[in-house]
């Protein structure tokens, strides 16, 4: 008899990140970034203490957004196109083909929001292989940046954004209440 999957999971790597198209669900995505080195997701929280007679009577906590950052060892033109709104042009045939895209032009900032996925191979508390997805519904992206090139580290592409509350999920389906995203654990894909 094989073990039953549990809802207790641990992530132990990072397989990829993907900027979604707004119509495709996270479960159908293979990813548009190859070679992701790091990714982080940090909630921006705040609190307010209601005081009286020099005592804290109650505390209020909130979250208003989350900062997401991705660093990649590859320069994917498709991702640059998604973040900048610029089209990739190509010409020629292999091995003499080339690709070109404008870099940081005046229309590349303040692009429309997009959903995003960060995928992590994981396993549950019974040792069964799982996939853990962080699905962000509405991300406002900052302009991309490059680090390097440097000796033994190469050239790194980084992008970041602010995931904000959304009234729809990554496919545009209305939500019962606003959310920044969802966390999904499922059998490994």
Over residues 75-123, the pLDDT tens digits come to 888 888 888 989 999 998 888 899 999 999 888 888 999 999 998 889 9
DSSP H/E element including 161: strand 154-164
Q: Is 181 exposed, middle or buried (0-12, 13-18, 19+ CB in 10 A)?
A: buried
Q: What local confidence, expressed as pLDDT, does residue 176 receive?
A: 97
> Six-digit token pair at 117?
């996925």
Residue 59 has pLDDT above 70, yes or no: yes
Q: How far apart are CA 171 and CA 40, in angstroms?
A: 23
Burial profile 111-139: b = 16 or more Cβ within 10 angstroms, e = fewer: eebbbbbbbbebbbeeebebbbbbbbbbb
The pLDDT mean for the chain works out to 88
| DSSP code, position 59 | E
Options 1.10.10, 2.30.110, 1.20.120, 2.20.200; CATH of 9-45+56-187: 2.30.110
């Amino acid at each position: 008899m094989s073990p039953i999957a549990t809802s207790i999971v641990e992530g132990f790597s990072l397989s990829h990140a993907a900027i979604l198209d707004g119509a495709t669900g996270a479960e159908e995505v293979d990813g548009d970034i190859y070679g992701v080195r790091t990714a982080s997701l940090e909630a921006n929280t705040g609190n307010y203490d209601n005081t009286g007679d020099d005592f804290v009577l109650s505390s209020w906590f909130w979250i208003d957004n989350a900062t997401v950052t991705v660093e990649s060892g590859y320069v994917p033109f498709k991702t640059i196109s998604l973040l900048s709104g610029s089209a990739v042009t190509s010409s020629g045939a292999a091995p003499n083909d080339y690709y070109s895209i404008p870099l940081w032009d005046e229309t590349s900032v303040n692009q429309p929001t997009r959903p995003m996925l960060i995928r992590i191979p994981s396993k549950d508390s019974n040792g069964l292989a799982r996939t853990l997805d962080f699905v962000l519904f509405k991300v406002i992206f900052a302009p991309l940046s490059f680090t390097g090139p440097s000796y033994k580290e190469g050239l790194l592409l980084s992008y970041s954004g602010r995931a904000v509350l959304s009234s729809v999920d990554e496919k545009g389906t209305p939500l019962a209440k606003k959310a920044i995203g969802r966390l999904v654990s499922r059998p490994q894909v």
